[in-house]
Structure 1
């Protein structure tokens, strides 16, 4: 998933959308990639300089407190620390909600 805009992201790094209020923290990044929100690259600038609007098809939104992963891959995991109207994606592939693990039963 490398291209000219791909960058090395590190666990703990925070990014903000440039088109909505979405902010995320990188939980896991096993390779270089370009994380986007609403079809536009995310920024390390958390000051919230929103320009434009999410692209059609990438405007389903991001939910606060939820973890997102690349479908059928464990290379990327991000957690939304602030929700917004843009969808998270990598190279045009929309990230999906990570399935939660069931808690052990306490009998």
Structure 2
């Protein structure tokens, strides 16, 4: 799938939903719980599938998940037990930038 900025994606195995905040102009496999995510903001067309037990780290509401090397960033709009991944690599939670020191 070739994601685009602003696109809403929903998991096909749990309740997780995300919005694409940043992405490269290339095909990516965006998954949740080991299953491909579908376009939309509700449960995907095959909701009720079986997630991969090894990819059940969870997605937290309001957190951004990013891979700086790939240039991908997703914003979680609905939490769920599945782990978000791109091309088979789990996405870490994006950390906040440190504020400058005030002396």
Q: How would you bin the TM-score normalised by the shorter chain?
A: 0.7 to 0.9
What's the offset of the Cα at 1:48? Answer: 1.5
Residue of structure 1 equivalent to 2:21: 27
TM-score, length-scaled by structure 1: 0.83
Runs (4+) off by over 2 Å? 102-107
Alignment RMSD = 1.7
Distance 2:17 2:84 in 1: 10
Unaligned runs of 5+ in 2: none
* Counterpart mapping for 1:39-58 below 5 A: 39-49=34-44, 50-58=47-55
In the superposition, the TM-score normalised over structure 2's length comes to 0.86
Q: Where in structure 1 are there 5+ consecutive unaligned residues? A: 1-6
Return the offset for 1:74.
4.8
* Number of positions where the alignment pairs a residue of Structure 1 with one of Structure 2: 100
How far, CA to CA, are the matches of 2:92 and 2:42 in structure 1?
26
CA distance in 1, matches of 2:49, 2:98: 39
Determine helix, strand or coil for the equivalent of 2:75. strand
